[in-house]
């Protein structure tokens, strides 16, 4: 055999030997490192194939990491490890970098059942400790450079639906990381998240900012709450302060700029909060989370306050929240209202001082013990100008626009110029008393709100786990009809409360005039508005001629005028009406509105005449 051929074969054999040695060393390195990682972090790690990348890299295909006692799963299409096989250090082969492609992090919510503190219930203090211990264990063991391309975060809740969020790229270097994020529609415009973690101080810092002209969108809130939350920048600092195994504390700061929220049940347009920041302290126990008001301050525009919140999970949840803010300039509050939230109050100017107290304490296992307190006090408070809407317009005759389903029905003159207007002095006292008993018997003594009614409403709604009872006073119903309409939005309810407070506390409209307006504009039947039309529609008479029984029937109709037919069997009201009639008679007698003689002679049966007969199908 020629000498040259022998040399070539020898070189080939040598190369294969070296390659085999590298392959063997690579597998030994991978297996040893993986075994060490499996033992240290209680993981189960598997891969389909392993191969060399040149003389300095190892490529694992279809890698899976499964933590013990966890619903999380990690996987990657390829996991490339780069090291120096030629010059190992004293500790062995030093890994220079990771390069991961097609990584998935899958988290399924645990199906919790049973009591908090049981085997299936989460321990919140342990969760915090494990999170920060995990970060402290992972970051020091990462190589100097880590690159992840195509990261998917998948969360499956108790329903069958999955939340899937895609992150195009993540780079980690020396305890710092940067991630290129995408918005919900995965458009070219996105945002960047930069952060760092310090294992010595257990401090995690995040900075998020929009790229180009786009804004950050938080996709989880869109999927879970149907809320489009956009912002320009977000900064978060979190630091764990370990107390004991059963108690952890997180102190931190959060700041946001350019925040807007659009949620259908909250408001019909986007609400702009601009910017704000807060420093906070959260105490975490096995079954509770506590926002410590002594170390928590929220700053928003010209406002700052110290909220307290306690969430405790035993068999049921207990929720306790409070705000106590001493006197501060009233202009700070009204000047800090979010843009687009309260249209009627846009531009309002005030002077004087305000203070506010709120306490809400509800144990869902003992709902009857619920506590709700809310009060605002003033010093020299004055409205300097109303801005967009004149809140005193009810005091004089005004034109009321009636809407139904968002469409304008008609204009009504609320004053003597209208033939359909009946002044309060010409209304039967029995009608006024029946309406007060049915709708708001403390109307003439409260200042727009009745705390006992709020508490009863909270109790009934929490017991039913759904909204079944409101707590609107007559003042609130007047404001809703005159200023806001009937949209069932959270923002409209808040605006209603604020307008009522301004009107009642500043005596912009007398109680007598509010009652007069109320009875002359509310709906009493299909396209029947005001007491004058109602009297003619049901009985072909003027309001002054109404009998006691007819007054009580009209009070019965107020809550659901559009469901008139649902209250009848043919021409006779259903049993609920007779129960309502008996209860109203007893309450009117107890209040001294009617005598015992009048109560004994009261008859629930009324004779209907006029257009109502057509509606009920009798003509």
The two three-digit tokens of residue 360, written as one number: 């809400």
- Is residue 414 a contact partner of residue 520, using CB atoms and an 8 Å limit? yes
pLDDT at res. 267:
83
* Burial group, residue 76, by CB count within 10 angstroms (0-12, 13-18, 19+): buried
pLDDT at res. 26:
59
Question: Nearest to residue 532, comparing CAs of 398, 431, 387, 384?
Answer: 431
Residue 104 sits at the vertex; the CA angle it makes with 102 and 110, to the nearest 5 degrees, is: 175
> How many whole angstroms from its chain centre is CA 306?
19
Inter-axis angle of helices 429-439 and 511-521, to 10 degrees?
A: 90
* Burial group, residue 497, by CB count within 10 angstroms (0-12, 13-18, 19+): middle
pLDDT at res. 90:
47
Residue 117's contacts (CB-CB under 8 Å, 6 or more residues apart) are 123, 286, 287, 314
Separation of alpha carbons 519 and 503, rounded Å: 18
Separation of alpha carbons 30 and 50, rounded Å: 9
Separation of alpha carbons 535 and 379, rounded Å: 45
Three-state DSSP state, 103 = strand
Strand pairing category for 162-173 and 145-156: antiparallel
The two three-digit tokens of residue 345, written as one number: 């109050």
Separation of alpha carbons 168 and 212, rounded Å: 17
The two three-digit tokens of residue 342, written as one number: 């309260």
Separation of alpha carbons 203 and 175, rounded Å: 11
Strand pairing category for 233-244 and 247-262: antiparallel
Separation of alpha carbons 476 and 161, rounded Å: 40
Three-state DSSP state, 477 = helix
pTM attached to this predicted model = 0.80
Inter-axis angle of helices 548-557 and 575-590, to 10 degrees?
A: 120
- Is residue 360 a contact partner of residue 320, using CB atoms and an 8 Å limit? yes
Q: What is the DSSP code (8-state) at residue 483? A: I
pLDDT at res. 14:
45
Question: Nearest to residue 287, comparing CAs of 266, 318, 265?
Answer: 318
Strand segments, DSSP code E, in 116-270 are 145-156, 162-173, 176-182, 190-198, 203-210, 216-217, 228-231, 233-244, 247-262
Question: Nearest to residue 440, comparing CAs of 405, 469, 493, 476?
Answer: 476
- Is residue 56 a contact partner of residue 84, using CB atoms and an 8 Å limit? yes
Long-range contacts of 413-421 (CB under 8 A, 24+ apart): 414/517, 414/520, 414/521, 419/532, 420/520, 420/530, 420/532, 420/533, 421/520, 421/530, 421/532
Three-state SS annotation for 56-75? CEEEEEEEEEEECCCCEEEE
Residue 212's contacts (CB-CB under 8 Å, 6 or more residues apart) are 189
Q: Produce one character per residue of 117-129: b if its CB has 16 or more CB atoms within 10 Å, e if not.
A: eeeebebbbeebb
Partners of 371 in the β-ladder: 361
What is the signed CA dihedral for 17, 22, 26, 32, rounded to 10 degrees? 80
Separation of alpha carbons 77 and 50, rounded Å: 12
Residue 409 sits at the vertex; the CA angle it makes with 408 and 415, to the nearest 5 degrees, is: 105
* Burial group, residue 563, by CB count within 10 angstroms (0-12, 13-18, 19+): exposed
pLDDT at res. 507:
93
Q: What is the pLDDT of residues 328-367, one digit of tens each?
A: 999 999 999 988 788 889 889 999 999 999 999 998 888 8
Find out if CATH 3.30.470.20 is the number for domain 390-615.
Answer: no
> How many other CB atoms are there within 10 angstroms of residue 252's CB atom?
17
pLDDT at res. 441:
87
Q: What is the pLDDT of residues 55-106, one digit of tens each?
A: 677 888 998 888 766 667 889 999 888 876 555 544 555 778 889 999 998 8
Which regions of the chain are under pLDDT 70? 1-34, 36-38, 40-43, 55, 68-71, 84-93, 108-121, 157-163, 183-189, 213, 219-224, 465-470, 570, 618-619
Separation of alpha carbons 3 and 7, rounded Å: 6
Question: Nearest to residue 528, comparing CAs of 550, 554, 501, 498?
Answer: 554
The two three-digit tokens of residue 303, written as one number: 């406002």
Question: Nearest to residue 259, comparing CAs of 228, 280, 219?
Answer: 228
User: Residue holding tokens 């469409």?
Assistant: 407
Three-state SS annotation for 217-254? ECHHHHHHHCCEEEECEEEEEEEEEEEECCEEEEEEEE
The two three-digit tokens of residue 398, written as one number: 């005004």
Inter-axis angle of helices 429-439 and 575-590, to 10 degrees?
A: 110
């Amino acid at each position: 055999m020629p000498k040259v051929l022998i040399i070539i074969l020898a070189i080939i054999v040598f190369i294969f030997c070296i390659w085999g040695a590298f392959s063997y060393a690579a597998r030994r390195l991978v297996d040893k490192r993986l075994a060490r990682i499996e033992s240290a972090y209680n993981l189960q790690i598997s891969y389909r194939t392993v191969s060399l990348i040149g003389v300095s890299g190892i490529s694992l295909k279809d890698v899976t990491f499964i933590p013990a006692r966890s619903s999380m799963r990690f996987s990657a299409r390829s996991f490339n490890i780069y090291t120096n096989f030629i010059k190992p250090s004293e500790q062995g082969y030093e890994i220079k970098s990771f390069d991961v492609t097609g990584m998935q992090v899958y988290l399924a919510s645990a199906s919790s059942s049973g009591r908090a503190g049981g085997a299936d219930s989460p321990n919140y203090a342990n969760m915090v400790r494990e999170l920060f211990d995990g970060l402290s264990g992972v970051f020091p063991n990462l190589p100097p450079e880590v690159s992840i391309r195509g990261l998917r975060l998948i969360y499956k809740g108790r329903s069958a639906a999955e939340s899937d969020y895609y992150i195009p790229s993540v780079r980690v270097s020396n305890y710092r990381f940067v991630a290129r994020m995408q918005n919900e529609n995965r458009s070219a415009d996105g945002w960047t998240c930069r952060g760092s973690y310090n294992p010595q101080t257990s401090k995690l810092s995040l900075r998020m900012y929009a790229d180009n002209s786009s804004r950050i969108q938080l996709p989880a809130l869109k999927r879970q709450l149907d809320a489009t939350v956009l912002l320009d920048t977000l900064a978060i600092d979190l630091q764990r302060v370990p107390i004991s195994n059963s108690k952890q504390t997180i102190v931190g700061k959060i700041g946001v700029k350019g925040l807007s929220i659009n949620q259908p049940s909250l408001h019909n347009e986007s609400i702009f909060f601009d910017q704000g920041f807060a420093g906070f302290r959260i105490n975490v126990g096995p079954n509770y989370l506590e926002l410590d008001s002594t170390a928590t301050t929220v700053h928003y525009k010209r406002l700052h306050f110290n909220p307290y919140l306690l969430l405790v999970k035993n068999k049921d949840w207990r929720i306790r929240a409070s705000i106590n803010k001493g006197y501060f300039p009233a202009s700070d509050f009204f000047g800090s209202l979010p843009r687009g939230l309260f249209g009627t109050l846009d531009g309002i100017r005030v002077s004087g001082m305000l203070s506010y107290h709120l306490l809400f304490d509800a144990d869902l296992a003992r709902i009857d013990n619920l506590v709700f307190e809310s009060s605002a006090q003033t010093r020299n408070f004055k409205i300097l100008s109303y801005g967009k809407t004149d809140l005193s317009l009810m005091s004089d005759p005004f034109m009321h626009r009636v809407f139904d389903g968002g469409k304008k029905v008609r204009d009504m003159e609320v004053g003597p110029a209208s033939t359909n207007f009946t002044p309060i002095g010409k209304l039967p006292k029995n009608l006024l008393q029946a309406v007060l008993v049915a709708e708001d018997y403390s109307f003439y003594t409260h200042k727009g709100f009745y705390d006992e009614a709020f508490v009863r409403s909270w109790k009934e709604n929490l017991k039913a786990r759904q909204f079944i009872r409101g707590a609107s006073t007559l003042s609130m119903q007047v404001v809703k009809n005159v200023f806001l309409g009937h949209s069932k939005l959270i923002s409209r309810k808040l605006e209603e409360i604020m307008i009522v407070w301004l009107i009642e506390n500043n005596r912009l409209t007398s109680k007598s005039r509010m009652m007069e307006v109320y009875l002359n504009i509310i709906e009493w039947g299909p396209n029947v508005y005001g007491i004058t039309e109602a009297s003619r529609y049901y009985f072909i008479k003027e309001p002054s001629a109404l009998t006691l029984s007819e007054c009580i029937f009209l009070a019965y109709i107020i809550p659901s005028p559009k469901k008139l037919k649902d209250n009848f069997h043919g021409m006779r009201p259903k049993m609920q009406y007779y129960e309502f009639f008996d209860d109203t008679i007893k309450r009117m007698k107890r209040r001294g509105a009617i005598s015992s003689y009048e109560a004994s002679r009261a008859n629930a049966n009324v004779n209907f005449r006029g257009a109502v007969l057509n509606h009920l199908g009798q003509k």
